[in-house]
């Protein structure tokens, strides 16, 4: 999900949002420097202006091609879960509602590790929406011990909580849902909002 520059920025203490957008600012600075260099070249004016335009835009566009900005990185939209487990914890907890075998759910493993590395106080609990023991062990073996993996007593309630979209992220505090995001709306702003609760 993150490249080495973004990971480095996270490690030195930048927020998730800053780590996402600082590389773009650096690309604009490099583009500006290339624009200055090409403005000094003694070519015909149309060629020089073309090189200046390409030099300015190319670093930003190349970085964007490999590491795009998604709508969820700019605007974190939440949803209201239609049904909630009646016994929610008082302590702030991020529930990640997953469906075993879902490729997007599998991708949450690395993100959860990064979240825990950035903030060791964060409490994450995976909730499986099926009684699949193989799926349970798949996630249990790959996640750190600090992250709980659970097959709930009634997995169908959690399936309804996710409104059928997996993975879904549900932030709970004082036995109430604070915010919830579907995977398509979960970006760096949501990560910063979650980080603020721990």
Please report the domains of the chain, with CATH numbers, ordered by start residue: 4-69 (no CATH), 74-196 (3.40.30.10)
Query: Average pLDDT, stretch 29-53?
Result: 82
Q: Which residue has the higher pLDDT, 49 or 123?
A: 123
Stretch 120-146: mean pLDDT, rounded? 94
The reported pLDDT for the residue numbered 11 is 87
Residues 166-195: pLDDT tens digits?
999 999 999 899 999 999 889 898 999 999
Q: What is the pLDDT of residue 53?
A: 84
- What are 75's two structure tokens? 């605007």
The model's confidence at residue 37, banded by pLDDT at 50, 70 and 90, is: confident
Contacts with 128 (C-beta within 8 Å, 6 or more apart), sequence order: 98, 99, 100, 135, 136, 139, 149, 150, 151, 152, 155, 158
Cβ-Cβ contacts under 8 Å for 136 (sequence gap 6 or more):
100, 128, 149, 151
Mean pLDDT score of the chain: 89
User: Partners of 127 in the beta sheet?
Assistant: 97, 150
* Range from 7-11, 32-36, 139-143 that averages highest in pLDDT: 139-143
Residue range 95-113: mean pLDDT, rounded: 93
- Which stretches within the chain are classed as H helix? 4-11, 16-40, 45-66, 71-74, 103-118, 133-142, 155-161, 188-196
Q: What's the confidence (pLDDT) of residue 1?
A: 54
- What is d(CA 71, CA 55) in angstroms, rounded to the nearest whole number? 27
Lowest mean pLDDT among 43-57, 60-74, 135-149: 43-57
Percent of the chain with pLDDT over 70: 99
pLDDT in tens, 62-91: 999 998 888 777 877 888 898 787 788 999
pTM: 0.82
Q: What is the pLDDT of residue 55?
A: 86
């Amino acid at each position: 999900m993150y490249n080495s520059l973004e990971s480095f920025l996270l490690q030195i203490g930048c927020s998730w949002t800053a780590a996402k957008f600082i590389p773009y600012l650096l690309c604009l600075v490099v583009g500006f420097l290339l624009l200055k260099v090409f403005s000094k070249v003694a070519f015909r004016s149309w060629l020089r202006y073309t090189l200046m335009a390409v030099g300015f835009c190319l670093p930003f566009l190349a970085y964007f091609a490999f590491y795009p900005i998604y709508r969820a990185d700019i605007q974190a939209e939440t949803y209201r879960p239609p049904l909630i487990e009646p016994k929610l914890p008082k302590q702030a907890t991020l529930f990640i509602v997953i469906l075993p075998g879902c490729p997007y759910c599998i991708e949450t493993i690395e993100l959860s590790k990064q979240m825990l590395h950035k903030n060791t106080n964060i409490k994450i609990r995976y909730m499986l929406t099926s009684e699949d023991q193989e799926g349970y062990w798949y996630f249990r073996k790959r996640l750190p011990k600090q992250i709980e993996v659970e097959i709930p007593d009634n997995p169908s309630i959690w399936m309804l909580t996710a409104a059928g979209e997996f993975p879904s992220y549900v932030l709970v505090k004082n036995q109430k849902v604070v915010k919830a995001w579907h995977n398509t709306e979960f970006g760096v702003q949501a990560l910063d909002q979650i980080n603020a609760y721990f």
